[in-house]
Amino acid sequence: MNRPSLTGVLVREVVNFSAYWRATTFSSTVEPTIYLLAFGFGFGSLVSEVAGLDYIEFVGTGVVATAVLFSSAFPAMFSTFVKYKFQRTYDAIMAAPVDAREIVTAEALWIAARAGTYGCVPLLVAIAFGLDPRAGMLVVPFIAFTAGFGWACFGITIAARMNSIENFNYVISAVLTPLFLVAGTFFPITALPELASVLAQVNPLYHCVELVRHAAFGFEPGADAIHVGALLAFGAAMWWLAGVSMQRRLVD
């Protein structure tokens, strides 16, 4: 890894982001907030408590993972595809001493930084509606960053392997939507059938949800070590796969 190369790509992303940050911020924060309000007050009027928590608190902490997903995987897929397929941005960058792995790393870090910021918005909304602020919540941006990095690399991998932007519909419908629904955001995964509950525990979004809840209501060192390890393993695996996929797309 060449640090000046990473810095150059990151600076380019920051400069470009200044031109469209309003629209991106709106879409990445308003939709998860709507989920929070709709489920929190909709189902909350029917279900007062879940897992010993007020339902609005249960959903408010869980929706952080939704905000992370919306602000990482989706932008990574569409933005990456447009940059290499239509704009030829990456071809221009690689004319400088920057390789595909450095492009992937810089892009994923930038997207993860945004996810770490946007992921805090549902939590702030939940606090406004009664969730007690706690010191542990200060680590939520880092949790969101770690999860966002993995999902950003996932999105880059998908973009590098697709030949048409319409093919993203397969991934969104068959992969991201089911993972989003069985992450423990709106109901405990223990409510699922036994096999589905076991499978849900390999869902990276589930580990993000659990870490955020523990940050808000009390850490569990043993369980949290597993959740952190799962997110780090997911991020490392996706980073490697994204680098290989983008190398093949741009060079091979």
Band of residue 44 on the pLDDT scale cut at 50, 70, 90? low
**Count of Cβ atoms closer than 10 Å to residue 138 Cβ:** 10
pLDDT at 224 over 80: yes
Alpha helix ranges (H) inside the chain: 3-17, 21-42, 55-85, 89-93, 100-118, 121-128, 140-161, 168-171, 177-181, 194-200, 204-217, 221-250
Q: Which domain holds residue 92?
A: 3-250
At 81 the pLDDT is 93
Q: What mean pLDDT value characterizes the chain? A: 89
Mean pLDDT, residues 28-39 = 79
At 246 the pLDDT is 93
pLDDT at 242 over 90: yes
How many distinct structural domains can be found in the chain?
1
151-169 confidence digits (pLDDT tens) = 999 999 999 999 899 999 9
pLDDT at 232 over 90: yes
Mean pLDDT, residues 12-39 = 83
Provide the sign of the torsion angle of the four alpha carbons 67, 69, 70, 72, taken in this order. positive
